Structure 1
Amino acid sequence: MSLSKTFTHVANRVAHAAGMPMTFIACCAIIVVWAATGPLLGFSDTWQLIINTGTTIITFLMVFLIQNTQNRDGAAMQAKLDELIRVGKGQNRFIGIEHLTEAEVEEFRKRCERAAKRAERAATE
């Protein structure tokens, strides 16, 4: 299996597992256990370092895994929408607008709003 496919597989599995209620409960349990050991360890620097290091590492890795998953989901959704526009009655000029600048996308949005208002006025007349 290629590195890309392996990473995609792992990213999907981790992102799915991270969103499960049991994962949240397990994380809460870890925090409770860590907090409960504070008095036993005298709230030492090592005690604090354990949670700080653990959460930093997990957060750092999760950012990349979740971003990868979101990028793929967004690209897949965009491809589906583009196909619906292409085969439907939508205007093909909307295909690929996700590659425009923020200002250009905002201009498209304003044009759509103006067109919708014109259509609404025409329907009520």
Structure 2
Amino acid sequence: MKPRTRSGKLERGGRRRAARQSRPEPRQARPQSSAARMFDHFATAVARATGSPIAFGMAVALIVLWAIAGPWAGFSEVWQLVVNTGTTIITFLMVFLIQQNQNKDSRALHVKLDELLMALKGANEKLVDIEEMEEDELDEVVERYRQLALAARKRKSLK
């Protein structure tokens, strides 16, 4: 019988069976509070909506309307304050919404990359969870791979 992955799918040729069997199972995810779940859904929806061409068009239209209202408002301080305050508040709030999405996407990407590393024959499994290393340890790994890349380029140029 061919070995199966965690999802129950058959592995190709049974490669890395021993590594897979000795691999620790992922940590149990902490249950997310309903407030955190709601924030996650809200942040995702806002990021998608504000990243659309329609949202950009609406923002441009709003600025144009504000500029057109300038002569009517006598280019007063209140007129200037409206756009300054509005854009500052929106920018401040968007930072948190975008960061939430960035954190979630980054974690998901790292899990996918870790899975690929563990599935590839000959891959260096020490690179799994490398993002959890301290900065100086990560610098050493980066330098090692920079040296390997430099050596590979030299070998390639000699051919």
Gaps of 5+ in 1: none
User: 2:6: which partner in 1?
Assistant: none
Q: For 2:130, which of 86, 90, 97 is the aligned residue?
A: 97
Q: Which consecutive aligned stretches of 4+ in structure 1 deviate over 6 angstroms post-superposition?
A: none
Gaps of 5+ in 2: 1-32
User: 1:77: which partner in 2?
Assistant: 109
- RMSD across aligned C-alpha pairs, in angstroms? 2.0
User: 2:142: which partner in 1?
Assistant: 109
Offset of residue 92 of structure 1: 1.1
Question: What is the CA deviation profile of residues 103-123 of structure 1, one whole-angstrom value per residue up to 9, with x for unaligned ones?
Answer: 32222122123234445628x
Question: What is the CA deviation profile of residues 33-60 of structure 1, one whole-angstrom value per residue up to 9, with x for unaligned ones?
Answer: 0011011011111111111111011101
| Distance (Å, rounded) in 2 between the aligned partners of 1:5 and 1:27 | 28
| Distance (Å, rounded) in 2 between the aligned partners of 1:30 and 1:17 | 16
Asked if residue 8 in structure 1 is aligned to residue 40 in structure 2, the reply is yes
Normalising by structure 2, we get a TM-score of: 0.71
Q: For 2:83, which of 51, 66, 69 is the aligned residue?
A: 51
Equivalent residue of 1:43, what SS? Answer: coil
| Distance (Å, rounded) in 1 between the aligned partners of 2:48 and 2:65 | 25
The count of corresponding residues between Structure 1 and Structure 2 is 125
Normalising by structure 1, we get a TM-score of: 0.89
Larger radius of gyration between Structure 1 and Structure 2: 2
Distance change >3 Å, CA 41–CA 117, structure 1 → 2: closer
The code of the aligned residue for 1:19 comes to G
Question: What is the CA deviation profile of residues 79-118 of structure 1, one whole-angstrom value per residue up to 9, with x for unaligned ones?
Answer: 1101111122211110111122333222212212323444
User: 1:63: which partner in 2?
Assistant: 95
| Distance (Å, rounded) in 1 between the aligned partners of 2:128 and 2:147 | 19
Question: What is the CA deviation profile of residues 7-65 of structure 1, one whole-angstrom value per residue up to 9, with x for unaligned ones?
Answer: 11100000011110111111000000001101101111111111111101110110000
Higher helix share: 1
